[in-house]
């Protein structure tokens, strides 16, 4: 059985050359050997394995937009529906979170207040106390974010797990699938690099990058979500 990282996009070339790409950051925070996880680059046309051969999957973030419904994204959504129907554990991050929501019957679009960027506080909701992935998380924790689109409507049957004043659907679960709008794989260096690279775009959106960079801080509790997911998969395989 394979554990896979579904690569839905890539970071900026200069940042990748310095710090690596999304799958490298995810593998680091999963806390497992790199060879334990196979990377499938769906954005470049790589085929996903049969659902029956998959023990679990993490979906990366992406500069793409779910609402553009690119062919590779639509095909991935079809696979995700089959994976959830077969109770394969999934964890979607940012774009992956939004793609899961859209694939399972929710809706995704541009946030009416513009982007959410930098390090923000996320509140864990009461339902998380009974959740296999979020139980025991701090009531509030800092998390790295950078997104223009959001999950505006959760899929039928979804359980909201985390939120803040800007983003009511920061984390949810549907069956065997979890989505997190925040980036558990981003460390401070990655978040700082993103804010620097996107400074003109953020400025145009009314969010100067300078103050956002000054407010950066470590996000260990958010990062722990990936280790918790890896632990969940080990428990299911035992």
Distance CA 220, CA 136 (A): 14
**Cβ atoms of residues 55 and 233 within 8 Å:** yes
Verdict on whether the full-model pTM lies above 0.75: yes
Is the domain spanning 2-237 CATH 3.40.50.880? The answer is yes
| Alpha-carbon distances of 71 from 13, 44, 45, 67, 82, rounded to whole Å | 23, 11, 9, 12, 17
Residue 27, CA distances (Å) to 50, 84, 185, 228, 234 in order: 22, 22, 8, 13, 15
pLDDT tier for residue 236 given thresholds of 50, 70 and 90: confident
Whether the per-residue pLDDT at 33 is higher than 80: the answer is no
What's the pLDDT score for residue 237?
Answer: 80
What phi and psi values does residue 41 have, to the nearest 5 degrees?
A: -90, 85
Q: How crowded is residue 175: how many other Cβ atoms within 10 Å of its Cβ?
A: 18
What is the structure's pLDDT at 155? 98
Q: Which of 29, 54, 94, 147 is catalytic?
A: 94
Digit-coded pLDDT (tens) for 79-136: 999 999 999 999 999 999 999 999 999 999 999 999 999 999 999 999 999 999 999 9
Residue 94 is among the residues annotated as catalytic for this protein: yes
- Are β-strands 177-180 and 90-93 bridged in parallel, bridged antiparallel, or unpaired? parallel
Can you tell me the distance from the alpha carbon of 211 to that of 200, in angstroms, rounded to the nearest whole number?
14
pLDDT tens, 51-67? Answer: 999 999 999 999 999 99
- Close Cβ partners of 50 (under 8 Å, ≥ 6 residues apart): none
158 pLDDT band (50/70/90 cuts)? very high
Helix/strand/coil for 9: coil
Q: Is 185 a catalytic residue?
A: yes
141 bridge partner residues: 122
Percent of the chain with pLDDT strictly greater than 90: 96
Residue 38 has pLDDT above 80, yes or no: yes
Rounded to a whole number of angstroms, the CA Rg of the chain reads 16
CB 44 within 8 A of CB 77: no
């Amino acid at each position: 059985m394979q554990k896979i990282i579904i690569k839905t996009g890539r970071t900026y070339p200069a940042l990748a050359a310095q710090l690596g790409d999304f799958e490298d950051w995810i593998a680091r925070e999963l806390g497992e050997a790199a060879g334990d996880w196979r990377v499938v680059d769906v954005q470049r046309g790589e085929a996903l394995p049969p659902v029956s051969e998959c023990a679990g999957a993490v979906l990366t973030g992406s500069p793409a937009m779910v609402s553009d419904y690119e062919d590779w994204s639509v095909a991935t959504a079809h696979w995700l529906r089959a994976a959830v129907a077969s109770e394969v554990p999934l964890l979607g991050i940012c774009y992956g979170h939004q793609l899961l929501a859209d694939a399972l019957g929710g809706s995704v679009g541009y946030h009416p207040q513009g982007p959410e960027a930098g390090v923000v506080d996320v509140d864990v909701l009461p339902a998380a106390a009974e959740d296999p992935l979020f139980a025991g998380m701090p009531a509030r924790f800092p998390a790295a974010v950078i997104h223009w689109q959001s999950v505006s409507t959760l899929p039928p049957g979804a359980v909201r797990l985390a939120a803040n004043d800007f983003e009511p659907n920061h984390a949810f679960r549907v069956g065997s699938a979890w989505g997190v709008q925040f980036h558990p794989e981003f460390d401070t260096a990655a978040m700082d690099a993103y804010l620097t690279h996107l400074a003109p775009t953020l400025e145009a959106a009314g969010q100067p990058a300078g103050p956002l960079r000054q407010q950066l801080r470590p996000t260990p509790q958010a990062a722990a979500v990936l280790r918790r997911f890896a632990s969940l998969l080990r428990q299911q395989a035992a």
